[in-house]
Homo-oligomer: A and B are copies of this chain.
Amino acid sequence: MDLWYTESHTDHVRFSLQVKEHLFTGESAFQKLDILDTYEYGKLMTLDGLVMVTEKDEFVYHDMIVHVSMAVNPDIKNVLVIGGGDGGTVRELMKYPNIVHVDMVEIDKLVVDAARKYFPAVSCEVDNPRVTVLYEDGIKFIKGKEAVYDLILIDSTDPIGPGEGLFTTEFYSDCYAALTENGILINQNETPVYEKFFEVGISSNKKLKKMFPSVHVYQANIPTYPGGYWLFNFASKKYHPINDLKEDQWNGLNIKTKYYNTDLHKGCFALPNYVKEKIEHGTF
C-alpha cells in the first residue's frame, strides 16, 4: 500500500511523508493523536493532524527550547515545563545535575502515555525522581504562584485548541510572577515563513516585551515544521542571552547535544533582516 501523511502548512502548501504503518490513533478530551511510522523521519506523533515530534528531527526543537536558557544560567534549580508531554524537554533538562526539580504540567495524559509507548528515547526521563508530571491545565496551574521557578519553558502546540490560552498577556503575566528574580521564560514562537504563524509570533513577542526587560528572538532549523524554520522567544527579568552566556561553564558540563553548541547559541540570535525588522518595527 502506498500510504502518505500530509500536513497543510498553509492552504496552498503541503508537506507529505510516506508511511510504513499507522501505529495508533486516539482521541482525548483535548485533541486527536496519531502515531505513524514513516520511512524518512521514523516514528511521528501528530496532534490534530499536525506534526509534533519525529524521531529524526526532535533533537533540534528539544535542544533549542532547553539549552539556550541553561547556558545563560547554568545554576537554574527549579523549572516549570508547560506542555511538553512527549518528554523531550524534560530529557534535556535532566542532563543538568544542578536542576533540583521540574514540574511538567501537561493537560493531556494521552500525549504522555503515547510517548511512553512509542517514543521511549524521547520520554525516557519522565519518571526521573526529579520530575513531577501533573495532568493539569497550565493556565490554571500557574495562577497565584510567586517566585518559585527559575525557568519556565512553554512547550506548547499552536494557539488553536488547548494551546490557545498559552499565548495571552494574562498567562505571560502569571508566568512573570511565578519566576524568581533571575527568571527566564522560553516559548516556541512559530515560523516567520508563513503569515498566519508569524503574526502569532510577533504578537507573542510584543506581549512579552511589555513585561520582561530582556526579550530576544532566536531561531532553529526544524525540517518537519512549516518553512523548516522556527522561532523561540527568550524573555528574562535580568539576563541578556548573549552577554550573559556562561560559555566556559556550560562547556565544562560536557553535555552531549546533537544540535546546540555555544557558538550556535551566539549565532541563533542573529536573525535575517525580514524577520528582525518585522519583529522590531512591524513592517519590512
Q: Does A15 contact B (CB under 8 A)?
A: yes
Residues of B within 8 A of A267 (CB): 266-270
Contact of A39 among B12, B60, B260, B265 (CB under 8 A): B12
**Could you tell me the distance in whole angstroms from the C-beta of A220 to the nearest C-beta in chain B?**
8
8 Å CB contacts to B: which residues of A71-119? none
Q: How far is the CA of A60 from the CA of B272 in the complex (A)?
A: 9
8 Å CB contacts to B: which residues of A4-23? 4, 6, 10-18
Q: Does A69 contact B (CB under 8 A)?
A: no
**Could you tell me the distance in whole angstroms from the C-beta of A190 to the nearest C-beta in chain B?**
14
Q: Mark A218-230, 1 if CB is under 8 A from B, else 0.
A: 0101010001110
Q: How far is the CA of A264 from the CA of B268 in the complex (A)?
A: 9
* Number of identical monomers bound together in the oligomeric complex: 2
Residues of B within 8 A of A223 (CB): 193, 227-229
Number of interface residues of A (CB under 8 A): 44
Q: Using A16-B13, A38-B12, A40-B12 as known contacts, say yes or no to A264 and B258 having CB atoms under 8 A apart.
A: no
Q: Mark A266-283, 1 if CB is under 8 A from B, else 0.
A: 111111111010000000
Q: Does A204 contact B (CB under 8 A)?
A: no
Q: Does A263 contact B (CB under 8 A)?
A: yes
Q: Does A249 contact B (CB under 8 A)?
A: no
Q: Are A15 and B18 in contact, CB atoms less than 8 angstroms apart?
A: no
Contact of A228 among B4, B39, B228 (CB under 8 A): B228
Q: Mark A232-268, 1 if CB is under 8 A from B, else 0.
A: 0000000000000000000000000111110111111
Q: How far is the CA of A40 from the CA of B15 in the complex (A)?
A: 14
A-B contact pairs, 17 of them (CB 8 A): A12-B39, A13-B15, A14-B15, A15-B15, A16-B16, A59-B274, A193-B228, A219-B221, A221-B229, A223-B229, A229-B229, A258-B273, A260-B272, A263-B270, A264-B273, A266-B267, A266-B270
The 6 closest A-B pairs by CB, nearest first: A228-B228, A267-B270, A267-B267, A12-B39, A12-B18, A263-B270
Beyond A11-B39, A13-B40, A15-B15, 9 additional contacts (C-beta under 8 Å) are A12-B40, A15-B16, A59-B274, A221-B221, A221-B227, A221-B229, A221-B272, A223-B229, A267-B269
User: A residues touching B (Cβ–Cβ < 8 Å)?
Assistant: 4, 6, 10-18, 38-40, 57, 59-60, 193-194, 219, 221, 223, 227-229, 257-261, 263-274, 276, 284
